[in-house]
Structure 1
Amino acid sequence: MSEIINNREQLTNNPSKRQAILKQIFKDLHDGKNVEEVKAHFDAFIGKITIEEISQLQHDFGDLSVEEMHRLHAKHTEIFKDSIEEIEKTYKPEEQPGHPIHTFVLENKELDKLVNIQIKGHIEDFVQADSPENVFKLLEDINLLLDIDKHYSRKENLIFPFLETYGIYGPTTNMWRINDFIRDAIKDSRQKLSSYNGDKQSVIDVLNFIIQEVSAMIYREENILFPMALNNFTEDEWVKIARESDEIGYCLIAPTKVWKPERHAFDENAISEGYIKMETGILSLKQLELLLNHLPVDITFIDQDDVVRYFSHGKERIFARTKAVIGRTVQNCHPPRSVHVVEELLADFKAGRKDTEDFWIKFRDKYVYIRYFAVRDETGKYIGTLEFTQNIAPIKELDGEKRIMS
């Protein structure tokens, strides 16, 4: 025991060596080394790990399979469990109703009850008898669990961008990947239950997978992600996150109050009354903003460095956008599995190989037409990309004519 204590004390006085050992521990897990052996090494040389140390570890897994990603994350959770140092705080705004973290934690409690009590109980019934009634109970549960998308979307679009401003990337990228795996599993289970064909084991397997991964994500959020955010974000940043949360919505439960911090001097509604002179007219900033927000399309602009600089904010956006994406690179605004498409498109625009690219997809009750335009100045120099998104379902239904006086 004294040898273990000496090892830890020596590393406490040598942060770079301690970090090197942590990286080696993660490499050992990646290379398939026995978890118990790695855990013993961790306990002997590290013992306790801080949120700051976790944030410094860049977990770049590359193009791993879904199964390999899950294997690694499960091992990471096993190594970290009960080893994260508690943070002492006297004033804890996150414990106040309406604070974003307070809301996230409330949602996690509801999610935990749903997956570990309700769904588990209904799986037991289903194992005994896969009757239409028991299948329907599970289908109702999964329909409720679809709400988790709002929880994950707020995390991805509000928490992750601010972490990136502090140079913290590893946890956000990998957590988004796991979020997507969970989303896919929920959709898969819904499809299997909706058209149940008697394959009982495949339903049980995917539901158990969901329970395991949702529970593990709750642990990662509350012991790694949320403390990491609380350690770094300012009060004004939490205010922005709280205000933007309504845009995306809540999972299974909503905040009971509007959070009112002790001190708040941020005014996001202030807007200059100045005017902008353009080649074909003059508009006040207010007129310009209203004009853009009244367009029957959603537009987003990213600059030559791939940084999101503006998006319109109409009454009915097709895809959720929050102000937290402003100043964030567009690559980090997309799920990791689709980033390569974005990068290929931007590379073509910057090289001059393309000026436009179009996509069209079915999204919920909409038929969405997505267009990208390379924005170039009068000399042809690339200055950014304009994304143009429109629900064309009503247009496709048009027939005949309607003249202006009709």
Structure 2
Amino acid sequence: MSEIINNRETHINSDTNRLSLLKEGFMDLHHGKNIKEIKERLFNQLGPISIEEISNLQHSLMEEEGIQASEAKDICSKHMEVLKDLIDRNSPSTRPEEHPGHPVHTFKLENRELEKVVNESLVHHLELFVKEDTQENISKLLEDCNSLLDIDKHFNRKEHLLFPYLEKYGIYGPTNMMWRIDDYIRDGIKEAKRMLLHYEGEKQPVLDVFDFVQKEVNEMIYREENILFPMALKNLTEDEWVKIAYESDEIGYCLTEPVEWKPGRLEMAEKAISEGYIKMETGILSLKQLELLLNHLPVDITFIDQDDVVRYFSHGNERIFARTKAVIGRTVQNCHPPKSVHVVEELLEDFKSGNKDCEDFWIKFKDKYVYIRYFAVRDEKGNYVGTLEFTQNIKPIQEIEGEKRILS
């Protein structure tokens, strides 16, 4: 395309005319015309295309041209084939995303982790599976599926926190199209896991669905980082990014734990919240006091809500089993290896049905003797609201002899 870089005397400057030419080009793609010829034509007529023009184009194709959901996926892929060469790399500024903890910085960290799964771990495990479809190799692919299911938190933050702000500024194209493709990806990962759990020796369908997942995840990462995030950075205010950052913890993060981002406004908000008080039936504590109290208990606590989603874990100085903030918002089934998931599901079903209120396990772990207790948490009416995991090293307790009645 270098031969036409300077041939721009006839570039169209009218916004309406530019959008018309863009639409014409992409509708030609939609109807199967030559991608290379259309790419050269558009570049010769328009030069670099701005993020705003891409947004307006996608919105126009979806709303004014009546492109259906089934067609949106195909045309979007062709969009990206063109945009790789036509997108304006100088617009807009991306400086805010360079700050660790900024929502865009976190989204990109997650994308790097997703790339490791789909382009490294999954590729390697598929090679093993092709050579020999043993249960061991199937289990490795199931672990990849469980990792990829974490993408739901990435998508949920994008869809429920970022998209509403873009739509507030009249930007609908990427939000409508990306949400549909996000759902295709979610469904693809779930289908891959279903096939593996019920595998009966047919390799090709498994390979096909993983090929789809790998391709769509990589393309979505490209769309996010070259269209969605630059557009959001250009339009959203710092206050809006602060709100997104503050609300992100409730949804959780994908395969990574973000660094804390504290611009001035966020520090003020956190201070106000931490100094607030929580009134309970038997007393009143500040949020800070409550957190310190839980973290000083000589046990590890994890709480799973009624939908099997991990919502909280205590953070003492010496945890028995490692936890990171990446598990928050993740289903507990996806936090366990496939070989033990059936035990987790059976226990939760007993709690939900009322067959059990608690279950205990004890295991030797490194130099510890670990007592693990699970309790069904119910409200005053007996309704199941979640499960509490209570983990303690009881080896020092077992070693106690005699009596102690004086201070050390």
TM-score range normalised by the length of the shorter chain: 0.5 to 0.7
Render the CA deviation track for 1:76-116: whole Å, top value 9, x for unaligned.
Answer: 11010132112367882211111101100000000001001
Report the equivalent of 1:14.
14
Following superposition, the deviation at residue 32 of structure 1 comes to 2.6
AA partner of residue 261 (structure 2): W
Following superposition, the deviation at residue 238 of structure 1 comes to 0.3
Structure 1 residues 12, 2: closer, same or farther in 2, change over 3 A?
farther
User: What's the C-alpha RMSD, in Å, of the aligned pairs?
Assistant: 3.7
The 2-side partners of 1:266 and 1:15 are apart by 42
Question: Is residue 2:47 matched to residue 1:44?
Answer: no
Q: Aligned match of 1:200 in 192, 198, 203?
A: 203
Following superposition, the deviation at residue 124 of structure 1 comes to 1.2
Report the equivalent of 1:258.
260
Equivalence map 1:252-291=2 (5 Å): 252-255=255-258, 257-261=259-263, 267=269
User: TM-score with structure 1 length normalisation?
Assistant: 0.63
Kept in 1, the 8 Å contact 2:62–2:68? The answer is no
Structure 1 residues 82, 40: closer, same or farther in 2, change over 3 A?
closer
Render the CA deviation track for 1:239-283: whole Å, top value 9, x for unaligned.
Answer: 00000000100000011x221226669759989xxxxxxxxxxxx
Kept in 2, the 8 Å contact 1:112–1:215? The answer is yes
Kept in 1, the 8 Å contact 2:153–2:251? The answer is yes
Equivalence map 1:233-252=2 (5 Å): 233-252=236-255
The 1-side partners of 2:127 and 2:211 are apart by 11
Report the equivalent of 1:232.
235
AA partner of residue 40 (structure 1): E
For structure 2, the 5+ residue unaligned runs are 281-303, 310-347, 353-378, 385-408
Question: Is residue 2:79 matched to residue 1:76?
Answer: yes
The 2-side partners of 1:197 and 1:91 are apart by 49
Q: Aligned match of 1:176 in 165, 176, 179?
A: 179
Kept in 2, the 8 Å contact 1:148–1:251? The answer is yes
Report the equivalent of 1:399.
none
Question: Is residue 2:177 matched to residue 1:188?
Answer: no
Kept in 1, the 8 Å contact 2:29–2:38? The answer is yes
Report the equivalent of 1:215.
218
Report the equivalent of 2:62.
60
Structure 1 residues 120, 3: closer, same or farther in 2, change over 3 A?
closer
Report the equivalent of 2:157.
154
SS of residue matched to 2:253 = coil
Tell me which moved more, 80-89 or 175-184.
80-89
Structure 1 residues 89, 170: closer, same or farther in 2, change over 3 A?
closer
Structure 1 residues 21, 234: closer, same or farther in 2, change over 3 A?
same
Following superposition, the deviation at residue 22 of structure 1 comes to 0.7
Residue identity over aligned pairs, in percent, reads: 53
Q: Aligned match of 1:124 in 116, 120, 127?
A: 127
The 1-side partners of 2:197 and 2:3 are apart by 58
SS of residue matched to 1:254 = coil
Tell me which moved more, 241-250 or 37-46.
37-46
The 1-side partners of 2:10 and 2:101 are apart by 43
SS of residue matched to 1:60 = helix
The 2-side partners of 1:220 and 1:143 are apart by 24
Kept in 2, the 8 Å contact 1:122–1:137? The answer is yes
AA partner of residue 52 (structure 1): E
Report the equivalent of 1:359.
none
Structure 1 residues 150, 91: closer, same or farther in 2, change over 3 A?
closer
The 2-side partners of 1:63 and 1:50 are apart by 22
Number of aligned residue pairs: give it: 291
Report the equivalent of 1:29.
29
The 1-side partners of 2:267 and 2:305 are apart by 30
Structure 1 residues 41, 179: closer, same or farther in 2, change over 3 A?
same
The 2-side partners of 1:88 and 1:65 are apart by 29
The 2-side partners of 1:252 and 1:111 are apart by 8
SS of residue matched to 2:186 = helix
Rg larger in structure = 2
The 1-side partners of 2:36 and 2:5 are apart by 19
The 1-side partners of 2:260 and 2:195 are apart by 40
Following superposition, the deviation at residue 318 of structure 1 comes to 6.3
AA partner of residue 156 (structure 1): E
SS of residue matched to 2:190 = helix
Render the CA deviation track for 1:348-405: whole Å, top value 9, x for unaligned.
Answer: xxxxxxxxxxxxxxxx9799xxxxxxxxxxxxxxxxxxxxxxx9x9659xxxxxxxxx
Report the equivalent of 2:138.
135
The 2-side partners of 1:103 and 1:270 are apart by 24
Structure 1 residues 233, 17: closer, same or farther in 2, change over 3 A?
same
The 1-side partners of 2:251 and 2:84 are apart by 31
Structure 1 residues 31, 96: closer, same or farther in 2, change over 3 A?
same
The 1-side partners of 2:94 and 2:35 are apart by 38
The 1-side partners of 2:182 and 2:191 are apart by 14
User: TM-score with structure 2 length normalisation?
Assistant: 0.63
SS of residue matched to 1:10 = coil
AA partner of residue 173 (structure 1): N
Following superposition, the deviation at residue 11 of structure 1 comes to 2.8
